[in-house]
Structure 1
């Protein structure tokens, strides 16, 4: 959820002093702009959403201490490049698609309605209630980020 991402970015910048780079495809630009405009802190945040080609994204990820984001192609690219990750799964299950290993922390609400999407069998959903992601708290995600960054991730 947009408010969760905004709050997490603010805490990472203000409390941990990390630089945050926002990435995504062109289709993500309106969503990201929506919460970037609401950020209390603009120093330490670079919005590169919709601006990077794949080779540039790969180079950025290689230099990243941590990737934080939803289940997406960028998450899986970060995992393949050996970048530690903190990821969120809601409509899809991490049992099939989640990163494995100690360098990755996965958040999943495990509700009875999830997974409501499944790429492997083309299961789709018109669910507009993202409670599966709303239930993942900013505090627990921030704590995971802090721990992984402290461990050198």
Structure 2
């Protein structure tokens, strides 16, 4: 038996779109919300990594390199953030792929600061969540870690290319700051970028990101 599902309103969050599909198919349940139970081992591990005020950072996007902000701009932004928050640790994680490890190593080479802690090997989701919860905020891209942080109730700063589905994926609410850049590739379906560097995201400045991070830290850092 086949049933044709009507198109969703893409301005709604993706999980709301998925729930509406289930309801159209006859599901009568209620929105279950988000409930996370982090194993004690993961919490203990995170406590050995996070020592004091910390920011969790994700600089890679598995879906497409064109969702990534350039490494040199991340380095500049972090240095500006440290001017206002000199005690802040920056914990950076990745999925453990060769490409992502190379990006993490490039960031470390540019920053050259002991406050930057790189965890290059792939970690279980429970450990990533424990790190996110142990920090003050999550900063990153349109990626799975961002959505995990949002679902866990952690304040976020994120960078997005404008796209038809962006509203469904971008975090919402007063605890989240989303920086969006117009993207000709998404508008015309003709990719004009080369070398894996997103020309549109490159137009977002280090100053703009640093101001967003610092403002979010001031608003949400635990006293």
Scaled to the shorter chain, the TM-score interval is 0.7 to 0.9
Corresponding position of 1:86: 157
Counterparts of 1:1-153 in structure 2, within 5 Å, are 1-17=70-86, 18-27=88-97, 28-40=100-112, 42-90=113-161, 92=163, 94-114=166-186, 127-128=193-194, 129-153=197-221
Task: Rate the CA distance shift 1:115–1:85 in 2: closer, same or farther, 3 A.
Answer: farther
Corresponding position of 2:3: none
Deviation at 1:13, TM superposition (A): 2.9
Residues matched between the structures, number: 146
Query: Gapped runs of 5+ residues in structure 1?
Result: 117-122
Deviation at 1:111, TM superposition (A): 3.4
Instruction: Please tell me whether the aligned partners of residues 142 and 159 of structure 2 are also in contact (alpha carbons under 8 angstroms).
Output: yes
Deviation at 1:89, TM superposition (A): 0.8
TM-score by length of 1: 0.84
Q: How far apart in 2 are the matches of 1:25 and 1:110?
A: 27
Q: Which secondary structure does the structure 1 equivalent of 2:110 belong to?
A: coil
Instruction: Please tell me whether the aligned partners of residues 90 and 115 of structure 1 are also in contact (alpha carbons under 8 angstroms).
Output: no
Instruction: Please tell me whether the aligned partners of residues 108 and 132 of structure 1 are also in contact (alpha carbons under 8 angstroms).
Output: no
Query: Gapped runs of 5+ residues in structure 2?
Result: 1-69
Aligned residues: CA RMSD: 2.2
Q: How far apart in 1 are the matches of 2:218 and 2:200?
A: 28
Structure (1 or 2) with the larger CA radius of gyration: 2
TM-score by length of 2: 0.59
Q: How far apart in 2 are the matches of 1:126 and 1:113?
A: 6
Instruction: Please tell me whether the aligned partners of residues 114 and 132 of structure 1 are also in contact (alpha carbons under 8 angstroms).
Output: no
Bigger relative contact order (CA 8 A; separation at least 6): 2
Q: How far apart in 2 are the matches of 1:103 and 1:94?
A: 18
Q: Which secondary structure does the structure 1 equivalent of 2:77 belong to?
A: helix
Instruction: Please tell me whether the aligned partners of residues 21 and 47 of structure 1 are also in contact (alpha carbons under 8 angstroms).
Output: yes
Q: Which secondary structure does the structure 2 equivalent of 1:20 belong to?
A: strand
